[in-house]
Amino acid sequence: MNAATPFWNNRRKRSCADAATSIVFIIPTAILLIAFVIIPIIWTVQISFNEWDGLQPTMNFVGLENYQTAFQKPQFQKSLLNNFIWAVMHLVFACGTGFFIAFLISRLKRGMGFFRTVLFLPNVIATTISAVMWTQIFNPTYGILNNLLSAIGLDSLALQWLADPDLVIYSTSMASCWQAYGYYMVLFLAGLQNIDVSLYEAARMDGANAFKQFIHVTIPGLRSILTFVISMALINGLKGFATVWAMTRGGPEYSSHLLSLFVYKTAFLEYDYGLASAAAVILGILVMVITIAFNVFSDKINADM
């Protein structure tokens, strides 16, 4: 009995030491999280119920007036609609392109690393540089896109991509999708490589063609990664800012405005921090609701399967 005591004491000491070490590493992260995430969120919510220009030492409590004003503003309504368009475009084109390219690369027997690296490069480029590059591509006079369309006899499709209010949100969104698809490609490629090859062999032995293998082996094998990628695509799509700001500043006439631009301009150009904070809270709630709803839906689908 006495001989066993040191063993348990040593084990208890090691557990305490491990716990202490974990706490030491967690504390700096927790401090940063509280200082730069939790407190700013609480502060933003508080400001959203007040009228404040960011300069006066005191704020005037107005309750839900800022939220009502936000929903009544045409700029906010347009920004909200554009955010949904932006998120859908991001989901369909950035995610879709990433999945399609990842699927093709996963079929390669040689050169997988080369193509993965090269096709991931757009994601490494700074957003501002990417936006400037796409601004030049969309230039109606000397841009590559319109010149290419004219060269192949499609002059009628050479449009004012960034000046047409009906086109600009789609043009800027495509520029963002081009930069983002590499991130999703890498995630999908990792998921594809984790699918057991023997499942494909069993499917072939059962007479399944390539399409049936894709439906019954590939898609189920990517179930968890699909949920994560689509969640990230929705979140990133709703948070768009830098690309639009660098390309159009939200114009022409708010036609490419997003909620993030509305928040920025309202706070730092109009000095209405209460309204800007209310819009920021609405954007945050929107992101959380859509993400949670999608994950609940995905869990239900996976449970049924």
Class of domain 72-304 as given by CATH? mainly alpha
- Among 226, 218, 221, smallest CA distance to 297 is for 226
Q: Which amino acid is at 96?
A: G
**Residue whose pair of structure tokens reads 């305490």 in the numeric block:** 16
Least confident of 141-150, 221-230, 295-304: 295-304
Tens of pLDDT, residue by residue over 15-39, are: 777 777 888 888 888 999 999 989 9
How many angstroms separate the CA atoms of 212 and 208, rounded?
A: 6
Tens of pLDDT, residue by residue over 212-262, are: 888 888 888 888 888 888 888 888 888 788 899 999 999 888 899 999 999
The whole model's pTM is what? Answer: 0.85
Cβ contact 75:262 at 8 Å: yes
Element housing 51 (H / E): strand 50-51
Q: Please state, in angstroms and as integers, the Cα–Cα distance from residue 76 to each residue in 55, 66, 189, following that order.
A: 24, 12, 38
Neighbouring C-beta atoms of residue 13, cutoff 10 Å: 10
Q: Which amino acid is at 46?
A: Q
Q: How confident is the model at residue 292 (pLDDT cuts 50, 70, 90)?
A: confident
